[in-house]
Amino acid sequence: MKLLVVNPNTTASMTAKIAAAARSVASPGTQIEAVNPSMGPVSIEGFYDEALCLPGLLAEVAAGERRGAAAIVVACFDDPGIDAARSIASVPVIGICEAAIRMASLLGHRFTIVTTQPVSLPAMDGLIHRYGMADRGRARAAGVPVLALEDPLSGAVTKVRNQIRAAIAEDRAECILLGCAGMADLARDLTEEMGLPVIDGVAAAVKLAEAVVGLGLRTSKVGGYARPASKPYTGMLAALAP
Protein backbone atom coordinates (compact mmCIF):
# COMPACT_ATOMS: atom_id res chain seq x y z
CA MET A 1 0.00 0.00 0.00
CA LYS A 2 1.13 3.53 -0.74
CA LEU A 3 0.67 6.04 2.07
CA LEU A 4 1.05 9.78 1.44
CA VAL A 5 2.26 11.88 4.38
CA VAL A 6 1.80 15.62 3.83
CA ASN A 7 3.72 18.12 5.93
CA PRO A 8 1.57 21.26 5.43
CA ASN A 9 4.48 23.66 5.94
CA THR A 10 7.23 24.25 3.40
CA THR A 11 10.29 23.22 5.46
CA ALA A 12 11.88 20.26 3.67
CA SER A 13 14.10 19.26 6.61
CA MET A 14 10.99 18.80 8.77
CA THR A 15 9.39 16.74 6.01
CA ALA A 16 12.46 14.47 6.01
CA LYS A 17 12.17 14.01 9.79
CA ILE A 18 8.46 13.22 9.46
CA ALA A 19 9.19 10.72 6.68
CA ALA A 20 11.77 8.93 8.82
CA ALA A 21 9.30 8.66 11.72
CA ALA A 22 6.61 7.30 9.41
CA ARG A 23 8.92 4.73 7.82
CA SER A 24 10.19 3.57 11.21
CA VAL A 25 6.73 2.21 12.12
CA ALA A 26 5.32 1.32 8.69
CA SER A 27 4.59 -2.32 7.93
CA PRO A 28 6.81 -4.06 5.35
CA GLY A 29 4.15 -3.70 2.65
CA THR A 30 3.65 0.05 3.20
CA GLN A 31 5.41 2.56 0.97
CA ILE A 32 5.73 6.03 2.51
CA GLU A 33 5.76 9.08 0.27
CA ALA A 34 6.36 12.31 2.23
CA VAL A 35 5.80 15.71 0.63
CA ASN A 36 5.36 19.36 1.49
CA PRO A 37 3.78 22.18 -0.51
CA SER A 38 5.90 24.64 -2.45
CA MET A 39 3.77 27.54 -1.18
CA GLY A 40 2.74 28.52 2.32
CA PRO A 41 4.31 29.19 5.73
CA VAL A 42 7.64 27.65 6.75
CA SER A 43 6.03 26.63 10.05
CA ILE A 44 2.49 26.57 11.40
CA GLU A 45 2.09 28.52 14.62
CA GLY A 46 -1.42 29.78 15.20
CA PHE A 47 -4.61 30.29 13.25
CA TYR A 48 -3.19 32.58 10.53
CA ASP A 49 -0.45 30.13 9.51
CA GLU A 50 -3.01 27.33 9.63
CA ALA A 51 -5.33 29.17 7.24
CA LEU A 52 -2.58 30.07 4.78
CA CYS A 53 -1.22 26.51 4.61
CA LEU A 54 -4.51 25.15 3.27
CA PRO A 55 -4.23 25.84 -0.49
CA GLY A 56 -0.87 24.09 -0.69
CA LEU A 57 -2.00 21.26 1.56
CA LEU A 58 -5.17 20.58 -0.42
CA ALA A 59 -3.26 20.63 -3.71
CA GLU A 60 -0.89 17.96 -2.34
CA VAL A 61 -3.82 15.86 -1.09
CA ALA A 62 -5.48 15.89 -4.51
CA ALA A 63 -2.21 15.16 -6.32
CA GLY A 64 -1.36 12.33 -3.94
CA GLU A 65 -4.67 10.58 -4.51
CA ARG A 66 -4.15 10.88 -8.28
CA ARG A 67 -0.75 9.20 -7.84
CA GLY A 68 -2.43 6.24 -6.16
CA ALA A 69 -2.18 6.89 -2.42
CA ALA A 70 -4.33 4.44 -0.47
CA ALA A 71 -4.53 6.83 2.50
CA ILE A 72 -3.27 10.29 3.42
CA VAL A 73 -1.80 11.55 6.69
CA VAL A 74 -1.85 15.30 7.40
CA ALA A 75 1.29 15.77 9.49
CA CYS A 76 0.56 18.90 11.50
CA PHE A 77 -0.82 18.65 15.02
CA ASP A 78 -3.36 21.41 14.36
CA ASP A 79 -5.10 18.95 11.98
CA PRO A 80 -5.47 21.78 9.44
CA GLY A 81 -7.91 21.32 6.59
CA ILE A 82 -8.96 17.82 7.62
CA ASP A 83 -12.61 18.29 6.71
CA ALA A 84 -11.78 19.92 3.36
CA ALA A 85 -9.22 17.20 2.57
CA ARG A 86 -11.78 14.49 3.32
CA SER A 87 -14.23 16.23 1.02
CA ILE A 88 -11.91 16.13 -1.98
CA ALA A 89 -10.39 12.69 -1.34
CA SER A 90 -12.05 9.28 -1.51
CA VAL A 91 -9.24 7.60 0.40
CA PRO A 92 -9.00 7.94 4.20
CA VAL A 93 -7.43 11.20 5.45
CA ILE A 94 -6.07 11.10 8.99
CA GLY A 95 -4.83 14.00 11.12
CA ILE A 96 -2.02 13.34 13.54
CA CYS A 97 -3.73 15.04 16.49
CA GLU A 98 -6.84 12.92 16.17
CA ALA A 99 -4.76 9.77 15.71
CA ALA A 100 -2.67 10.53 18.81
CA ILE A 101 -5.73 11.33 20.94
CA ARG A 102 -7.51 8.14 19.87
CA MET A 103 -4.42 6.12 20.73
CA ALA A 104 -3.97 7.84 24.08
CA SER A 105 -7.56 7.01 24.99
CA LEU A 106 -6.63 3.32 24.77
CA LEU A 107 -3.53 3.60 26.94
CA GLY A 108 -4.43 5.90 29.83
CA HIS A 109 -7.21 7.93 31.37
CA ARG A 110 -5.63 11.40 31.33
CA PHE A 111 -3.32 12.90 28.74
CA THR A 112 -1.47 16.15 28.11
CA ILE A 113 -0.47 17.55 24.73
CA VAL A 114 2.90 19.28 24.87
CA THR A 115 3.03 21.70 21.96
CA THR A 116 5.44 24.43 20.88
CA GLN A 117 4.12 27.98 21.30
CA PRO A 118 1.34 29.41 23.51
CA VAL A 119 -0.36 30.73 20.35
CA SER A 120 -1.17 27.10 19.48
CA LEU A 121 -2.98 26.35 22.75
CA PRO A 122 -6.44 27.53 21.63
CA ALA A 123 -6.21 25.26 18.59
CA MET A 124 -5.16 22.33 20.79
CA ASP A 125 -7.99 23.01 23.24
CA GLY A 126 -10.46 23.13 20.37
CA LEU A 127 -9.29 19.80 19.00
CA ILE A 128 -9.50 18.14 22.41
CA HIS A 129 -13.14 19.28 22.57
CA ARG A 130 -13.84 18.28 18.97
CA TYR A 131 -12.60 14.76 19.58
CA GLY A 132 -14.71 14.36 22.71
CA MET A 133 -11.88 14.32 25.24
CA ALA A 134 -12.41 17.57 27.15
CA ASP A 135 -12.70 15.70 30.46
CA ARG A 136 -9.51 13.70 29.87
CA GLY A 137 -6.97 15.98 28.22
CA ARG A 138 -5.33 19.39 28.29
CA ALA A 139 -2.51 21.16 26.45
CA ARG A 140 0.71 22.86 27.49
CA ALA A 141 3.22 24.92 25.51
CA ALA A 142 6.98 24.54 25.82
CA GLY A 143 7.56 28.08 24.57
CA VAL A 144 9.74 27.11 21.61
CA PRO A 145 9.40 28.08 17.94
CA VAL A 146 8.64 25.13 15.67
CA LEU A 147 11.84 25.60 13.67
CA ALA A 148 13.93 25.54 16.86
CA LEU A 149 13.20 21.81 16.95
CA GLU A 150 15.41 21.55 13.85
CA ASP A 151 18.39 23.01 15.75
CA PRO A 152 19.97 20.65 18.31
CA LEU A 153 21.70 23.60 19.99
CA SER A 154 18.51 25.61 20.56
CA GLY A 155 17.56 24.04 23.88
CA ALA A 156 14.07 23.33 22.54
CA VAL A 157 14.11 19.64 23.47
CA THR A 158 15.06 20.47 27.07
CA LYS A 159 12.04 22.79 27.28
CA VAL A 160 9.80 20.03 25.92
CA ARG A 161 11.18 17.64 28.54
CA ASN A 162 10.48 20.16 31.29
CA GLN A 163 6.85 20.51 30.21
CA ILE A 164 6.42 16.74 30.11
CA ARG A 165 7.68 16.48 33.68
CA ALA A 166 5.33 19.28 34.73
CA ALA A 167 2.41 17.52 33.02
CA ILE A 168 3.13 14.32 34.92
CA ALA A 169 3.43 16.14 38.26
CA GLU A 170 0.70 18.77 37.90
CA ASP A 171 -1.81 17.38 35.37
CA ARG A 172 -1.57 13.77 36.56
CA ALA A 173 -0.98 12.88 32.90
CA GLU A 174 -0.81 9.18 32.13
CA CYS A 175 0.10 9.71 28.46
CA ILE A 176 1.94 12.54 26.73
CA LEU A 177 1.14 13.60 23.18
CA LEU A 178 3.91 15.40 21.28
CA GLY A 179 2.00 18.35 19.85
CA CYS A 180 4.11 19.04 16.78
CA ALA A 181 5.19 16.85 13.88
CA GLY A 182 8.66 18.32 14.33
CA MET A 183 8.92 16.33 17.59
CA ALA A 184 8.36 13.02 15.80
CA ASP A 185 11.88 11.76 16.42
CA LEU A 186 11.64 12.18 20.22
CA ALA A 187 8.85 9.78 21.15
CA ARG A 188 10.75 6.53 21.75
CA ASP A 189 13.52 8.03 23.86
CA LEU A 190 11.05 10.10 25.89
CA THR A 191 8.81 7.08 26.50
CA GLU A 192 11.75 5.24 28.04
CA GLU A 193 12.99 8.29 29.95
CA MET A 194 9.62 9.35 31.38
CA GLY A 195 8.23 5.90 32.14
CA LEU A 196 4.87 6.41 30.43
CA PRO A 197 3.56 6.42 26.84
CA VAL A 198 4.83 9.40 24.84
CA ILE A 199 2.89 9.35 21.58
CA ASP A 200 4.03 10.76 18.26
CA GLY A 201 1.02 11.59 16.11
CA VAL A 202 2.83 10.74 12.86
CA ALA A 203 3.47 7.18 13.99
CA ALA A 204 -0.06 6.85 15.39
CA ALA A 205 -1.59 8.10 12.13
CA VAL A 206 0.48 5.72 9.99
CA LYS A 207 -0.68 2.69 11.99
CA LEU A 208 -4.29 3.89 11.99
CA ALA A 209 -4.12 4.46 8.22
CA GLU A 210 -2.81 0.95 7.69
CA ALA A 211 -5.66 -0.45 9.78
CA VAL A 212 -8.39 1.47 7.92
CA VAL A 213 -7.00 0.52 4.51
CA GLY A 214 -6.60 -3.07 5.65
CA LEU A 215 -10.31 -3.15 6.48
CA GLY A 216 -11.12 -1.95 2.97
CA LEU A 217 -12.75 1.27 4.21
CA ARG A 218 -12.83 4.65 2.45
CA THR A 219 -14.13 8.12 3.25
CA SER A 220 -17.92 8.32 3.18
CA LYS A 221 -19.30 10.50 0.41
CA VAL A 222 -22.76 10.62 1.97
CA GLY A 223 -23.36 13.89 3.80
CA GLY A 224 -20.65 16.22 5.04
CA TYR A 225 -17.76 14.70 3.10
CA ALA A 226 -19.61 14.61 -0.23
CA ARG A 227 -17.48 15.91 -3.07
CA PRO A 228 -17.72 19.70 -3.45
CA ALA A 229 -19.93 20.94 -6.27
CA SER A 230 -18.17 21.86 -9.48
CA LYS A 231 -17.94 25.65 -9.84
CA PRO A 232 -15.42 28.24 -10.99
CA TYR A 233 -12.92 29.66 -8.53
CA THR A 234 -11.30 32.96 -9.40
CA GLY A 235 -7.96 34.67 -8.93
CA MET A 236 -5.10 32.85 -7.25
CA LEU A 237 -7.38 29.94 -6.29
CA ALA A 238 -8.62 29.17 -9.79
CA ALA A 239 -6.47 26.03 -10.02
CA LEU A 240 -8.10 24.63 -6.88
CA ALA A 241 -11.63 24.69 -8.27
CA PRO A 242 -13.35 21.33 -7.63
Residue 143 is predicted with a pLDDT of 93
Question: Based on the number of CB atoms within 10 Å of its own CB, is 200 exposed (0-12), middle (13-18) or buried (19 or more)?
Answer: buried
> What's the pLDDT score for residue 153?
82
Return the pLDDT at 184. Answer: 86
How far apart are alpha carbons 176 and 100 in whole angstroms?
Answer: 9
Rounded CA-CA distance 81/87 in Å is: 10
Distance CA 182, CA 200 (A): 10
Count Cβ atoms below 10 Å from residue 145 Cβ, excluding itself: 15
Rounded CA gap, 49 and 10, in Å? 11
Which backbone phi and psi does 61 adopt, to 5 degrees? -60, -50
pLDDT in tens, the chain (242 residues): 999 999 999 999 999 999 999 999 999 999 999 999 999 999 999 999 999 999 999 999 999 999 999 999 999 999 999 999 999 999 999 999 999 999 999 999 999 999 999 999 999 999 999 999 999 999 999 999 888 988 888 899 999 999 999 999 999 999 999 999 889 889 999 999 999 999 999 999 999 999 999 999 999 999 999 999 999 999 988 988 88
* Pick from 122, 121, 128, 192: nearest CA to 161: 192
Q: Across the chain, how many H-helices and E-strands are there?
A: 9, 8
Q: Could you tell me the domains of the chain?
A: 2-96+203-240 (3.40.50.12500), 97-201 (3.40.50.12500)
For strands 71-74 and 198-200, give the pairing: unpaired
pTM of the model: 0.94
Indicate the burial class of 78 (C-beta count within 10 angstroms; 0-12, 13-18, 19 or more). Answer: buried
Going by the DSSP 8-state scheme, the letter that residue 35 receives in this structure is E
Cα gap 194→172, rounded to integer Å: 13
